[in-house]
Chains A and B, each alone.
Chain A
């Protein structure tokens, strides 16, 4: 059974960094892209990027270039998303999600983590 389990809620001050983890189980971690998505209060879903666990290659949208870093640890089947230079509008729930096997690898997220609330406040 596929599971993605994320780390717990974080409270950070403006300018700080946050690193969220996403531990995968129940499948071959290297086989599927892991995406990161966030939802700010009252806002829609926003795509933050993806990582290929097999190669470690990443894709980030322009908006987050220079501020987001996605990595993985193959020994623990864990993906990480680090966001730096936090601002109040980074307050959101952050999700990891697996790209469905056999799909395009860009869309089609079949399993999601439970979400991690990151609050940015002075």
Chain B
């Protein structure tokens, strides 16, 4: 069981937008702006999409965006493409130990 709650799966059609949520509490997501999102294709190392809630590393498509409301962070992918089919997980800083916690991951299927 992971510290942050993500839906197990989401799906969407090419061109659509989808949002993946990551829910924590006031000790982690609600208390700090240190949430990141990674994408991972099967058998590959994770790649960073978003850090510190809404920042994109250089080279990451503007189709990926992040936000936060209360204890929930969200990753939105617009203009879905076939290559977006992958697993996505969130990471947050927390005041508890361990100070870094992860979501359980969400499998995105592009229909």
A interface list, Cβ under 8 A from B: 35, 37, 44-47, 59, 61-63, 95, 97, 100, 102-104, 106-115
Contacts and interface: CB of A to CB of B under 8 A. Distances in A.
B30 to A, nearest CB: 15
A100 B104 CA distance: 21
A48 to B, nearest CB: 8
Given A44-B1, A45-B102, 9 more contacts: A44-B104, A45-B91, A63-B97, A104-B52, A106-B34, A107-B100, A108-B48, A111-B48, A114-B45
Contacts of B57: 100, 110
Interface in B32-63: 33-36, 38, 45-48, 51-52, 55, 57
Interface of B: 1-2, 33-36, 38, 45-48, 51-52, 55, 57, 89, 91-93, 97-105
Contacts of B35: 107
25 contacts: A37-B102, A44-B2, A46-B98, A47-B99, A47-B100, A47-B101, A61-B97, A61-B98, A61-B100, A63-B97, A95-B45, A102-B55, A104-B93, A106-B93, A107-B36, A107-B91, A107-B92, A108-B34, A108-B48, A109-B48, A110-B47, A110-B48, A112-B45, A112-B46, A114-B45
Contacts of B98: 46-47, 61-63
Contacts of A112: 45-46
B100 A35 contact: yes
Given A47-B98, A63-B98, A107 B2 contact: no
B75 to A, nearest CB: 13
A20 to B, nearest CB: 15
